[in-house]
Structure 1
Amino acid sequence: MWPASPRDRLALAPDGERYTAVTGELPRVLRAGVPAGPVLAGDVRAALVATGLTLARLLRAEGNTRDALPVLRLALREQVSEGRGELLTVQLELSELLAETGQLREAIEVLEPAFQHVHKVYGPEAVLVCRRLADLLQESGNHIQACEVRKHALDIAEYGSVGGPA
């Protein structure tokens, strides 16, 4: 996949347009879909999710959370229907944005499936999910659950797995 611009240059939108040509096509493609054969369908969805993540990050950087939220929600739906892929990244980004906008309950609901998945997997991603979920639970007043999740994160960090040294 070719980038919209060289690494050291900013991608610019055409005159009178809000987004670059590539980014401007994303909403149309997300609504109408891309004609692809059965072999390409997964690749197309993965590209849409990756592009959605990039677009949401750009929108957030510009302070446009209103438009970033639906893009991340759509990316999450696409990931869930197609398997794991970048699912954890989408869940973390969406939960962070939801928390920033005061939507704690939905942020927790987005991270709970991630916690259930990483509960069985041990590594830096598992610790990150645990810490973020514990912070959200703490902020929403679920102190006991937050403590349990933090303890799990500590177990992972200390032992590499729950139940004993790695």
Structure 2
Amino acid sequence: MPKDSPMTSLKPGQIAPDFSLPAHDGQTYTLSALRGSRVVLFFYPADNTPTCTSENSQFAAAFPAFHAAGVKLLGLSRDSLQKHAKFAEKLALPFPLLTDEDGTVCSAYDVWHEKHTFGKTYMGLVRTTFLIESDGTIGAVWPVTRLAGHVDDVLTKCLNTA
């Protein structure tokens, strides 16, 4: 794995850190309130960037299959609710985008790391997807180093372990 894409310290079998965050749709989502349902929680760096737009679009295209499997999708970045609302409307996203502006949840999931791009070092969100089982434990973790095939891999895991 590249030096600038460290994997989270969270592992399958651990209890997923609980959170309560606002979303672009005006609701607040609390992970523990979703117990009984499986949740795919995907962390992405920023709205309106090419890779993040592609990732959100791919999750949106696969949404009917996730929904049919009883899996809830939640996207999360540190962007503002206003930015999320514009992004979700532009892409017609059928799932909520949660905001973690202060980075508390990003830190709890260990996806906020030092990154290196074009000789610059900075702190940033590392694209990572979690499958959270209906009992609140982490079922799978995907540090996303290549977007191609990622959403299909997540969906396949959800369908094969239901």
Q: Same fold (TM over 0.5)?
A: no
Task: Point out the structure with the larger strand share.
Answer: 2
- The TM-score normalised by the length of structure 2 is 0.21
Structure exhibiting the larger radius of gyration computed from Cα positions = 1
